[in-house]
Structure formats: C-alpha cells, structure tokens
Amino acid sequence: MCVFVHTHHNIPLFMDKVYLFFISLLSLLSIILLFKPFTPRKRRNLAPSPPSLPVIGHLHLTGEPFHRVLHQLSSKYGPVMSLRFGSRQILVVTSPSAVEECFTTHDIVLANRPLLLSGKYLDYDHTTMGSAPYGRLWRDLRRISTLELFSAARLKAYMGVRQDEVRSLVKSLSQDVTRDFTRVEMKSRIEGLSYNIIMRIVADKRFYGTEVDGFEEARKFKDLIREIFDASGASNAGDFIPFLRWMDFQGFEKKLRKLQTESDSFIQRLIEERRSKRHSCDGKAKTFIDTMLSLQESEPEYYTDDIIKGNMLTMLIAGTDTSSVTIEWGMSLLLNHPDVLNRARAEIDEHIGHDRLVEETDLPNLPYIQCIVHESLRLFPAAPLLVAHEASEDCTIGGFDVTRGTIVLVNAWAIHRDPQLWDEPFTFKPERFEEIGNTGYRFIPFGMGRRQCPGAGFANRVVGTMLASLIQCFEWKRDGDELVDLSEGKGLTMPKIKPLKAMCKVRQIMSEVLMEL
C-alpha cells in the first residue's frame, strides 16, 4: 500500500478547452464586466502570468498531462507563476526555494484544501484527513492515522499482512509461468496486491486473488473504486465558473451524488460487519474500522458513521492506485535498464541468499533497492502535482503577493526533472541516491509540511519489498526488442498509458523455495 495521502481531492483538469455551450455567453458577460463600477485597488506585485481570456481566464491553456502543461508554462513565465481558472486564482510553484517557503514560513497559511464539488460528495462534505480544513477535526484524524496506521508499533503489527500479500503475488506468478519465458500482464497483479493490503488493514477482507472474501462483493468493490477514480480525475468547470455549477453543466454533480450513494452503502456494510465482530477478533490486530468504532463509543456525536466512512474511502483511494503505479513504473524502468536489474539481484543474492524469500525486515540491508524506489519516485511521482493547498490569508511567496483563497499547486514532477537541480535529470540512475544526503525540497514525492503524507514509511516498505521479491524470484526481460513504453496516461496518479507486460520465468536457483509456497 503506497499511502501518499493523495486523495481524489485535487484540481480537476478542464479537459475540453472552451466549452461551446458558454462561448455564446462570453460576449454578454464581458460587457457586464466592462461596465462594472470601477473600484481602485491597492497595486499588488503578482507573479508573472500568461495572457488570459474573459471569464474563463487560463482554462483554455490546460491539457493532458496537466503537470507537463504547467511545466511548459512555468519554463516561459517563471518558477512562481500565476494563473486564473475562471473565478479562482492559481499559483504554480516549481522552485525548491519557493516550496520551502510554502511549507515552512507559510505552512499554517497553506494548511487548507480548496473546497471542490468532489469533496462535498466523495469526502463527506470535506471531513476526511485529505480534505478537511485545518482545525481540530483534521488534527484528530491526522493523529489517529499516525498512531493507528503508521506508527512503528502499527507498522510492525501489520507487517505480516504485507508479507502475506507479497508472497501471494509471488506464488501466483510462479504458478502461471513455465521454465521458459512466459508473457505476463503485471498491472492487475500489482493492483491486487495494493487493494488486498489496504482492505485487510481497513476491514480484514481480501478482494483479489483466489482466496476472495465474497466474489460478488469483490466485483462491486473493484467497479466502485474504478468509478471513483474516473470521477476524481474528471474535469468540472463548475468548480471555477459558478454559473455552470448552478446549472450542473454536463451532469457532473448528479454523477457524484449517485456515486456517493453507492459508495456510502458499500462502506456502511463493511462497518456493520466489523461492528458485529468487534468482540470476537481472536487476538487479531485491530482494523482501521475497529479503531474508529472505539473512538465512536467515547464520542458518538463527533466520530459519526459519516466521519468513519469518509476516512475509510480516503484510505482505500490513497493506499491503492498510488502504490501500484509506483511498482509498475519501477519494474518498467528496470526492464529498460538490465544493468540496474542485475546489480539489484546481485545485492539480494549476497545479503539474502537463495534459501528463503526476501522479507520487509531485510530492506535496511538492501540499500540499492531503496535507491531504485527513490529514483522511480523521482522520475514518476504518483502525485506529480502535490495535493492542492489554499491560502487562508494574504502572504508572499517568492517575493510575489498571494491573496487569500489562492490555490497553490506544487509541480513535484517538474522539480524532480529540473536540470539545475539534478545531474542527467531524465536518466534512470538509482546510484545518484547513494551519494545524496539530505535531498531537501528538490525531492518531494510525499509532499512537505504539516499536510505531508504520513504514510511515506509504509509506502517505501511495500514498494521496496515487492520489487525485491520480483527481482529475487524471477528472471525478467522485455516483451520484444523495443524498450518498455514510458508514456504517461491520464489520471491524477500518472499511470502508464500502456499496462506493463513482460517476459518472466522462475529463477532455477529459487524454484525449491517457491515450491514450498
């Protein structure tokens, strides 16, 4: 589970340039704006900005992939750039010094999230850890997640779950390949690993693989998560142009309302199931639902079922897609760089041997594996744009005035590939992290500041153990002579445009260990 608490609560992409529906209204609205009584304002030192259009501002400049579009604009207008999406002011940051300023000097000022329509329905009116405004509720939810999910004690308690799922994937893969190289599709396998880990931690259920807890329930869960991801990445002009929201242009709010009803019903069933089993857990580690239900007993009016459901959904979203895409990118990079793959395998053979499977506790003895994880996250961060922040009061960033309500976007992808910050920034070189000490604000895959992802350690364990296991147990090569396509697809977590397929066979030296599984 790669828990970058990077939820669906982010800036949707305005995908269709300028909607024909409201082009006819631009002239009328422009006239209204021109004749609006002029009120002198204090002159402000705003960040550089491209030319904009009336009403829509810079929405016509957006496109896919959004982080690349913003990078191109920033290359022309500077590392601190101002945009206007409809009625909302946007600040795009691609400078480590400005990022440091955001998350040190102005950390509290930027501790809020923008209130978007998706958060109203999918985040239970912005009451989840990923979307809640800075205040008591957010602090309580952050504390709960830190203590009950990501503390050293909880990481140790759930290590068996993570190890079980890694071994399950390895076992399944070993059964599907022959002594000769066999073509395998990896995306669905890796997704199954991520979903099972988070579902077992949240609700003690498995929804992927052969030992599934209810096939129909599992099918509904997969369909639901897929729909939520689609809705999360969808554009919603109404978030930036209010009159389109009043009209529910394109029926987006209607779709969100339907999706919220379906997800609410599904998650409520999971809660009721855990409620009925809470006092007969046979010494098992508490699930996230169990923890929340315990809090509900002491403060029922505060920890309502809606609060529990919203944060369960956040865990499911944040802990699944992000981890699976990171592992898939890592394997793709290794296939394109067999020298790196061979060096990683040699490290594992030297420190672990061939008599047992690599385990999570072995990772401190496998520093090159960790370098591969870091380099994969540098080139392909699962949150290429950090989850959006919103200024709660006026401030200055990079010497420019930022008004209250401005949405701040940090382009981590651009910072990770800046040639002024990295030697050969577009090259996959894991060894660069052997020589780097503190990467500061130039390596920020998990965000920074008080709203930084609390699950970075958890994520590194899962990704590192999975990659090490695949390298230790199997021989790998590309499916054909061409390099694996590293093109980025659509979506907030920057998935591969083409799901990974590779040629795989069991390493003969590991066959006996795999037979014991």
Cite the annotated binding site by residue number.
Answer: 453
Cross-strand bridge partners of residue 85 = 57, 88
One-letter amino acid of 431: E
Asked if residue 347 lies in contact with residue 301, where contact means CB atoms within 8 angstroms, the answer is: no
Omega before 65 cis (within 30°)?
yes
Angle at 473 between CA 471 and CA 476, to 5 degrees: 55
Residue 349: which H helix or E strand, with range?
helix 338-351
Distance CA 183, CA 173 (A): 11
Q: Which two tokens stand for residue 219?
A: 């099918």
Alpha-carbon dihedral sign for residues 438, 441, 447, 450: positive
Binding-site residues for heme, in ranges, read 453
C-alpha 166/C-alpha 160 separation (Å) is: 10
Length of the chain counted residue by residue: 517
What number of H helices and E strands is found in the chain?
Answer: 20, 9
Distance of alpha carbon 363 from alpha carbon 345, whole angstroms: 13
For helices 215-233 and 187-203, the axis angle rounded to 10 degrees is 100
Cα(255)–Cα(128) distance, rounded to whole angstroms?
A: 20
- Residue 42: other Cβ atoms inside 10 A: 5
